[in-house]
Amino acid sequence: MDMDRVDQIIDKHRGEASSLIQVLLEIQSEYHWLPKEAVQRVSEKLQVPLSRIQHIATFYKAFSLVPKGRHEVHICMGTACHVRGATRVLDTVQDLTGIKPGETDMDLKFSLETVNCLGCCALGPVIEVDGKTHGKMSPAETAGVLKNYE
63: left (phi over 0), alpha (psi -120 to 50) or beta: beta
State how far the alpha carbon of 78 is from the alpha carbons of 2, 35, 88, 129, in Å. 40, 32, 14, 17
Judged by beta carbon, residue 25 or residue 145, the one nearer other proteins is 25
Residues 32-91 that bind other proteins (CB under 8 A): 49-52, 54-55, 58-59
Told to check if 94 binds other proteins by CB under 8 A, we report no
Count residues contacting other proteins (CB under 8 A)? 8
Q: How far is the CB of 52 from other proteins (least distance, A)?
A: 6
Burial classification of residue 127, based on how many CB atoms lie within 10 Å of its CB (0-12 exposed, 13-18 middle, 19 or more buried): buried
Angle of helix 86-97 relative to helix 139-147, nearest 10 degrees, comes to: 40
Q: How far is the CB of 36 from other proteins (least distance, A)?
A: 10
Q: How far is the CB of 59 from other proteins (least distance, A)?
A: 5
φ and ψ at residue 62, rounded to 5 degrees: -65, -20
Judged by beta carbon, residue 41 or residue 134, the one nearer other proteins is 41
The pairing of strands 110-115 and 71-76 is: parallel
Judged by beta carbon, residue 60 or residue 149, the one nearer other proteins is 60
Judged by beta carbon, residue 59 or residue 107, the one nearer other proteins is 59
Interacting residues toward other proteins by CB under 8 A:
49-52, 54-55, 58-59
